[in-house]
């Protein structure tokens, strides 16, 4: 139940405006939703005629939908949603982080925008090692030294310059400025997240950020007003790129770094540029899969996994049959082994893209696949997955003209470095942990790396983010993606197959239980109760270790499926506050 003291006129207004875009859409809230958790109504499964936005927060989905209704295209909506998540979803939505945007226009042209953070110019290879050469625990995760140079604002500017249909930057930023100024109501999950991290916010901040609730805890439905952030959005609204990388906000960010022994300077900010990359495009049967290129490993690893299972009859074996799980886990194992060795920032390291995706190479990679036994991973030191929460965020958009955008964006782990820029009101990322602090030593996601992903000044850290668009028989079919660190790639792999091989609709595909193998540690991780006991036994007989992953959940997926009649099915993950909006 809502607490009466928070049931304000404002909240009623928000409830009403959130419901308006649903007129004309068929919604079917999945049965597992706990109604008591809903501060803003969430549409977990939504069918719409023309356009759809699916994101991690109902207000952000609404902001995107409003832009589409006003004549913006999918890219305009994506820019507005990215900014809105920076206010409504502080745990991962951001302007202090980075991300990737994959685009497919209705004429079939594609693009990939890399607004990934970069290592500061003063970064160096051994910066997270002590005098004995050991990695200092959490130095790349908590506090000022963990922060990469943020890319989000420049990314949005680049997307706007090349693709905006509205051609009105201010209209895209204004809704988020208003949300920061007027306040948002906290969902139970967000309130819990802020409360859980209170000690860290206190420890790693040089001033008292608004996210720390004095005298007590945040409650579901309570209003969070972000005045400092509102002023930052005002500057971005008025000045675009210069509102963030120059002037007051830049001064505040650099002052924050100095106060907390961080290393980002004005020069880092001035020279940051988002990059257009060539998307990774591959064929899987009658699908074309368009995904993110390096410095994300997502597109290549997804292509590898799909290529490795393509010749096995997984449809006949069935969804989550032991044979299907076995062959998928073996493909995942092999792709992650390649990731650790061969993938990194293409501006620093020559990534053998073609070779890694070559169909013959992938066939060869499976030559030692044994249908009756797991292939043990190489026995170098195994990484340990921690219980760090699944915090990054994805959104998927299709506009009424059939343009599609798939965006995954992040601060890395929940609330990033936990550092809020004093005076500017936004969290800074802890993306530096995605670079390899030392060969063979796993990062927070248990991922290991070598030369390709070693720390260098100005280098982008290797990512697993996999924003993906698929066509079927040449027509737009799916827009998909999720957070989840290393599990992002395997989750996209599974949801794609759930639809393409196992005949699921998008909502069903998104909400189906998930599993994950990443080579090291040598284990199949599952969600709680993902497999019945007999399936676990069958996998163990094949030689797999099977165990539940830290939090018992994997990812928070946002997908859109173009149905045979041309209508759109949005699937927003039941694992979070995610919600679809459409018309
Ligand atoms: O870029 C990456 O692969 C990670 N920084 C993503 C982090 C993430 O998904 C957090 N959620 N678990």
Largest CA-CA distance found in the chain, in angstroms, rounded: 64
φ and ψ of 339, to 5 deg: -55, -45
pLDDT-based confidence at 28, cuts 50/70/90?
Answer: very low
Q: 425 exposed, middle or buried (CB, 10 Å; 0-12, 13-18, 19+)? A: buried
pLDDT-based confidence at 462, cuts 50/70/90?
Answer: very high
Residue 392 falls in the annotated catalytic set = yes
Q: 75 exposed, middle or buried (CB, 10 Å; 0-12, 13-18, 19+)? A: buried
Q: What is the pLDDT of residue 550?
A: 87
For 312-323, the pLDDT digits (tens) are 999 999 999 999
Q: Is 511 helix (H, G, I), strand (E, B) or coil?
A: helix
Q: For ligand 1, is residue 396 a contact (CB within 6 Å)? A: no
* H or E, element range at 270: helix 266-271
When the pLDDT of each residue in the chain is averaged and rounded to a whole number, the result is 92
pLDDT-based confidence at 123, cuts 50/70/90?
Answer: very high
Which ranges of 321-365 does DSSP label H, i.e. alpha helix?
322-342, 353-357, 359-365
Percentage of the chain lying above the pLDDT 90 cut: 88
Q: For ligand 1, is residue 412 a contact (CB within 6 Å)? A: yes
Residue 211 CA to residue 223 CA, distance in Å, equals 11
Q: Is the pLDDT of residue 5 over 70?
A: no
Name beta bridge partners: 342: none
Q: What is the pLDDT of residue 241?
A: 98
- Looking at residue 525, the DSSP 8-state letter turns out to be E
For 215-250, the pLDDT digits (tens) are 999 999 999 999 999 999 999 999 999 999 999 999
Asked if 29 and 43 count as a contact pair (C-beta separation under 8 A), the reply is: yes
Residue 20 CA to residue 23 CA, distance in Å, equals 6
Residue 495 CA to residue 561 CA, distance in Å, equals 11
Q: For ligand 1, is residue 434 a contact (CB within 6 Å)? A: yes
Residue nearest to atom 2 of ligand 1 (CA): 463
Which ligand 1 atom is nearest residue 116's CA? 1
For 47-88, the pLDDT digits (tens) are 999 999 999 999 999 999 999 999 999 999 999 999 999 999
Residue nearest to atom 8 of ligand 1 (CA): 485
Please give the angle made by the CA atoms of 399, 403 and 406, to the nearest 5 degrees. 90
Asked if 433 and 418 count as a contact pair (C-beta separation under 8 A), the reply is: no
Q: Which residues are CB-neighbours of 157 under 8 A, at least 6 positions away?
A: 169, 240, 241, 274
Which ligand 1 atom is nearest residue 413's CA? 10
pLDDT-based confidence at 390, cuts 50/70/90?
Answer: low
Asked if 180 and 233 count as a contact pair (C-beta separation under 8 A), the reply is: yes
432 token code pair: 């530096």
Of 490, 554, 564, 556, nearest in space to 528 by CA: 554
pLDDT higher at 62 or 26: 62
Q: For ligand 1, is residue 464 a contact (CB within 6 Å)? A: yes
Q: Is the pLDDT of residue 10 over 50?
A: no
Residue 170 CA to residue 89 CA, distance in Å, equals 21
What Cα–Cα distance (Å) separates residue 216 from each residue in 208, 223, 234, 418? 15, 15, 31, 19
What is the dihedral angle through the alpha carbons of 562, 568, 574, 577, rounded to the nearest 10 degrees? 130
- Residue 183 Cα to ligand 1 middle (Å): 27
Q: What is the pLDDT of residue 440?
A: 87
Q: Which residues are CB-neighbours of 503 under 8 A, at least 6 positions away?
A: none
Q: For ligand 1, is residue 487 a contact (CB within 6 Å)? A: no
Which ligand 1 atom is nearest residue 298's CA? 3
Asked if 376 and 392 count as a contact pair (C-beta separation under 8 A), the reply is: no
Asked if 370 and 323 count as a contact pair (C-beta separation under 8 A), the reply is: no
Q: Is the pLDDT of residue 38 over 80?
A: no
Residue 15 CA to residue 180 CA, distance in Å, equals 17
Q: 4 exposed, middle or buried (CB, 10 Å; 0-12, 13-18, 19+)? A: exposed
Q: What is the pLDDT of residue 16?
A: 42
What is the dihedral angle through the alpha carbons of 343, 348, 354, 359, rounded to the nearest 10 degrees? -10
Residue nearest to atom 6 of ligand 1 (CA): 485
Q: Is the pLDDT of residue 34 over 60?
A: no
Pairing of strands 287-291, 468-472: antiparallel
- Residue 393 Cα to ligand 1 middle (Å): 9
Q: For ligand 1, is residue 390 a contact (CB within 6 Å)? A: yes
Active-site option among 18, 152, 265, 392: 392
Phi-psi region of 34 (alpha: psi -120 to 50; beta: other; left: phi over 0): beta
- Residue 433 Cα to ligand 1 middle (Å): 10
pLDDT-based confidence at 7, cuts 50/70/90?
Answer: very low
Which ligand 1 atom is nearest residue 297's CA? 3
Q: For ligand 1, is residue 485 a contact (CB within 6 Å)? A: yes
Please give the angle made by the CA atoms of 344, 484 and 73, to the nearest 5 degrees. 85
For 85-103, the pLDDT digits (tens) are 999 999 999 999 999 999 9
Q: What is the pLDDT of residue 9?
A: 44
Q: For ligand 1, is residue 466 a contact (CB within 6 Å)? A: no
- Residue 449 Cα to ligand 1 middle (Å): 15
Which ranges of 132-216 does DSSP label H, i.e. alpha helix?
152-163, 169-182, 188-196, 198-204
pLDDT higher at 26 or 166: 166
Percentage of the chain lying above the pLDDT 70 cut: 91
Q: What is the pLDDT of residue 25?
A: 54
Q: For ligand 1, is residue 391 a contact (CB within 6 Å)? A: yes
Q: Is the pLDDT of residue 13 over 60?
A: no
Q: Is the pLDDT of residue 29 over 90?
A: no
Q: What is the pLDDT of residue 59?
A: 98
Walk me through the domains of the chain, giving residue ranges and CATH numbers. Answer: 280-387+474-582 (1.10.246.130)
pLDDT-based confidence at 27, cuts 50/70/90?
Answer: low
- Residue 428 Cα to ligand 1 middle (Å): 14
Asked if 569 and 563 count as a contact pair (C-beta separation under 8 A), the reply is: yes
For 463-518, the pLDDT digits (tens) are 999 999 999 999 999 999 999 999 999 999 999 999 999 999 999 999 999 999 99
* Average pLDDT of span 368-385: 67
Of 88, 112, 67, 39, nearest in space to 397 by CA: 67
Q: Which residue has the tokens 């790693």?
A: 204
Q: Is the pLDDT of residue 35 over 70?
A: no
Ligand 1 pocket mutation pick from 91, 407, 488, 551 by most atoms within 8 angstroms of CB: 488
What is the DSSP code string of 107-121? TS-EEEEEE--B--T
- Residue 407 Cα to ligand 1 middle (Å): 13
Residue 517 CA to residue 552 CA, distance in Å, equals 15
pLDDT-based confidence at 26, cuts 50/70/90?
Answer: low
pLDDT-based confidence at 37, cuts 50/70/90?
Answer: low
Q: Is the pLDDT of residue 383 over 80?
A: no
Please give the angle made by the CA atoms of 293, 295 and 301, to the nearest 5 degrees. 55
Q: Is the pLDDT of residue 153 over 80?
A: yes
Q: Is the pLDDT of residue 400 over 80?
A: yes
Q: For ligand 1, is residue 392 a contact (CB within 6 Å)? A: yes
Q: For ligand 1, is residue 346 a contact (CB within 6 Å)? A: no
pLDDT-based confidence at 389, cuts 50/70/90?
Answer: low
Q: 41 exposed, middle or buried (CB, 10 Å; 0-12, 13-18, 19+)? A: middle
Asked if 507 and 569 count as a contact pair (C-beta separation under 8 A), the reply is: yes
Asked if 346 and 320 count as a contact pair (C-beta separation under 8 A), the reply is: no
pLDDT-based confidence at 18, cuts 50/70/90?
Answer: very low
- Looking at residue 446, the DSSP 8-state letter turns out to be S
pLDDT higher at 168 or 17: 168
């Amino acid at each position: 139940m809502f607490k009466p003291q928070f049931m304000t006129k404002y909240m009623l207004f928000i409830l009403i405006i959130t419901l308006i875009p649903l007129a004309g859409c068929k919604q079917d809230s999945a049965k597992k939703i706990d109604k008591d958790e809903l501060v803003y109504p969430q549409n977990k499964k939504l069918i719409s005629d023309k356009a759809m936005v699916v994101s991690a927060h109902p207000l952000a989905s609404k902001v995107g939908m409003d832009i589409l209704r006003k004549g913006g295209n999918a890219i305009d909506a994506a820019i507005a949603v990215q900014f809105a998540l920076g206010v409504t979803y502080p745990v991962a939505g951001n302007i202090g982080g980075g991300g990737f945007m994959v685009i497919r226009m209705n004429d079939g042209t594609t693009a990939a925008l890399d607004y990934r953070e970069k290592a500061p110019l003063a970064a160096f290879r051994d910066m997270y090692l002590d005098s004995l050469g050991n990695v200092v625990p959490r130095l790349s995760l908590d506090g000022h030294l963990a922060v990469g140079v943020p890319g989000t604002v420049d990314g949005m500017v680049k997307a706007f310059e090349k693709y905006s249909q509205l051609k009105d930057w201010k209209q895209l930023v204004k809704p988020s400025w208003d949300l920061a100024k007027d306040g948002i109501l906290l969902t139970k999950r967000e309130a819990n997240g802020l409360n859980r991290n209170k000690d860290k916010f206190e420890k790693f901040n040089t001033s008292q950020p608004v996210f720390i609730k004095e005298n007590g805890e945040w409650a579901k439905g309570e209003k969070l007003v972000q005045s400092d952030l509102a002023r930052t959005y005002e500057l971005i609204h008025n000045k675009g790129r210069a509102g963030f990388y120059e002037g007051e906000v830049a001064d505040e960010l650099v002052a924050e770094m100095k106060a907390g022994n961080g290393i980002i300077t004005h020069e880092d900010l001035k020279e940051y540029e988002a990059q257009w990359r060539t998307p990774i495009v591959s064929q899987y049967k009658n699908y074309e899969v368009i995904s993110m290129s390096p410095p994300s490993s997502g597109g290549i690893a997804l292509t590898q996994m799909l290529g490795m299972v393509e010749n096995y009859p997984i449809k006949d074996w069935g969804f989550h049959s032991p044979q299907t799980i076995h062959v998928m886990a073996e493909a995942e194992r092999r792709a992650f082994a390649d990731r650790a060795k061969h993938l990194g920032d293409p501006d620093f390291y020559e990534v053998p893209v073609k070779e890694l995706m070559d169909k013959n190479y992938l066939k060869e990679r499976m030559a030692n696949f044994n249908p009756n036994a797991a292939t043990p991973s190489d026995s170098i030191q195994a990484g340990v997955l921690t219980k760090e929460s699944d915090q990054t965020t994805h959104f998927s958009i299709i506009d009424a003209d059939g343009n599609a955008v798939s965006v995954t964006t992040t601060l890395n782990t929940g609330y990033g470095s936990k550092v809020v820029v004093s005076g500017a009101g936004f969290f800074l990322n802890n993306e530096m942990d995605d670079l390899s602090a030392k060969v063979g030593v796993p990062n927070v996601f248990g991922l290991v790396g070598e030369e390709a992903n070693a720390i260098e000044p100005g280098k982008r850290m290797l990512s697993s983010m996999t924003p993906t668009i698929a066509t079927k028989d040449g027509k737009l079919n799916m827009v998909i993606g999720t957070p989840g660190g290393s599990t992002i790639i395997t989750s996209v792999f599974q949801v794609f197959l759930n639809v393409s091989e196992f005949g699921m609709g998008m909502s069903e595909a998104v909400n189906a239980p998930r599993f994950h193998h990443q080579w090291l540690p040598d284990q199949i991780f599952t969600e709680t109760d993902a497999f019945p006991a007999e399936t676990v036994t069958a996998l163990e007989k094949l030689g797999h270790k099977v165990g539940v992953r830290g939090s018992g959940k994997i990812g928070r997926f946002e997908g859109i499926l173009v149905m045979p009649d041309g209508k759109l099915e949005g699937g927003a993950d039941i694992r979070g506050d995610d919600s679809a909006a459409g018309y």
